[in-house]
Amino acid sequence: MEISAGAVKELREKTGAGFMDCKKALAETRGDLAAAIEFLRKKGLAAAEKKASRAATEGAVGSYIHGGGKVGVLVEVNCETDFVAKTDGFSALVREIALHIAAMSPSYVSRKEVPDEVVEGERRIYEAQARESGKPDHVVAKMVDGKIEKFLKDTCLLEQPYVKEPEKTIEQVIIENIAKLGENISIRRFARFKVGEGIEKKQSDFAAEVAAAQK
């Protein structure tokens, strides 16, 4: 079937894909725009998986300040070339990741960064809670494993639902941008600051030390 230039233009605007890719996608899906978008998405994600193993040593450090200066984030996002690092698309991605971190307060980039002692500490807490239910050991084990999995998904940035599109994880957002920008992209590190965070604990610890010294 003949594909109109208008249909190709609309698909390009919606996906950012090249002219020939859009034309092929429309031909493959007999002009169905929604199906063509899905076709391009699957093609892009497959290509992105191949790019994900390539070295990403360029990139940018982005920042986001929220809540009248009460919360701030710095995040380093890497790509393969300085050219892509300076594009509007990459800059927008870095800003969105920084915004997400400000809103969702992850503790780690990925689960491989979570220290074993942190996981084991959580496991002991969950096991003690689960045993209060009086259920058999094999059921308790499954309950604990489920809570550990939820803990990791809640605290690891890549596994969190993207704050603006909760049906996607941050990892999926990264993969989509790998497909769109044509280079491997990775989040290397981040820091999140909240005014007053930790101060109350330190003050209470100091008060306890003073009280102990006066005894």
- In the chain, list all ranges with CATH 1.10.286: 115-153
What is the per-residue pLDDT for 9?
87
What is the per-residue pLDDT for 13?
75
Structural element, H or E, at residue 138? helix 137-155
- In the chain, list all ranges with CATH 1.10.8.10: 5-51
CATH architecture assigned to 58-111+156-201:
2-Layer Sandwich (3.30)
Per-residue pLDDT 10s for the chain (215 aa) are 788 888 888 887 776 666 777 888 888 888 888 888 888 777 765 555 556 566 678 999 999 998 789 999 999 999 999 999 999 999 999 999 999 999 999 999 999 999 999 999 999 999 999 888 888 888 989 999 999 999 999 999 999 999 999 999 999 899 888 878 888 899 999 999 999 887 765 555 645 555 555 55
CATH architecture assigned to 5-51:
Orthogonal Bundle (1.10)
Class level of CATH domain 115-153: mainly alpha
- In the chain, list all ranges with CATH 3.30.479.20: 58-111+156-201
- Please tell me the pTM assigned to this model: 0.70
What residue type is assigned to position 61 of the chain? Answer: V
Give the integer Cα–Cα distance in Å for 92 and 191: 19
Helices (H), 52-135: 82-85, 88-104, 116-131
Distances in Å between the alpha carbon of 196 and those of 44, 71, 191? 44, 10, 15
Give the integer Cα–Cα distance in Å for 100 and 73: 9
Question: pLDDT digits over 46-66, tens only?
Answer: 555 556 566 678 999 999 998
Encoding tokens for residue 181?
């920008």
